[in-house]
Amino acid sequence: MIELQNIHKSYITQYTSLHVLRGINLSIENGEMISIMGASGSGKSTLLNVLGLLDRFDEGKYCIDGISTNGLTMQQRAYYRNKLLGFVFQSSNLIAYKNLVENVALPLYYRGISRKQRNILAIEQLDMLGLKDWATHFPNELSGGQKQRVAIARALIAKPSLILADEPTGQLDSSTAIEVINLLKEINKKGTTMIIVTHEIGIAQQTNRIIKITDGQIE
Binding site for ligand ADP (CB under 6 A): 11, 18, 20, 38, 40-46
Closer of 45 and 169 to Mg ion (Cβ):
45
**Residue 35 — left, alpha, or beta (φ > 0 → left; ψ -120 to 50 → alpha)?**
beta
Nearest-approach distance from CB 11 to ligand ADP, in angstroms: 3
| Contacts (Cβ under 8 Å, ≥6 apart) of 180 | 145, 148, 149, 152, 168, 169, 172
Nearest-approach distance from CB 56 to ligand ADP, in angstroms: 12
Name the one range near Mg ion by CB under 5 A: 45-53, 121-129, 147-155, 207-215.
45-53
Nearest-approach distance from CB 116 to ligand ADP, in angstroms: 39
Closer of 158 and 163 to ligand ADP (Cβ):
163
Alpha helices in 5-160 (DSSP H): 44-51, 74-84, 100-109, 115-128, 144-156
Sign of CA dihedral 165, 58, 26, 37: negative
Closer of 20 and 187 to Mg ion (Cβ):
20
- Number of residue whose CB is nearest Mg ion: 45
Which of Mg ion, ligand ADP, none is residue 18 near (CB under 5 to 8 Å by kind)? Answer: ligand ADP
Give the strand pairing for 162-166 and 193-197.
parallel
Position 45 contacts Mg ion (CB under 5 A): yes
Closer of 45 and 103 to Mg ion (Cβ):
45
Nearest-approach distance from CB 213 to Mg ion, in angstroms: 11
Burial profile 165-185: b = 16 or more Cβ within 10 angstroms, e = fewer:
bbbbbbbbeeebbbebbebbe
Contact 98, 82 (CB under 8 A): no
List of residues contacting Mg ion (CB under 5 A) = 44-45
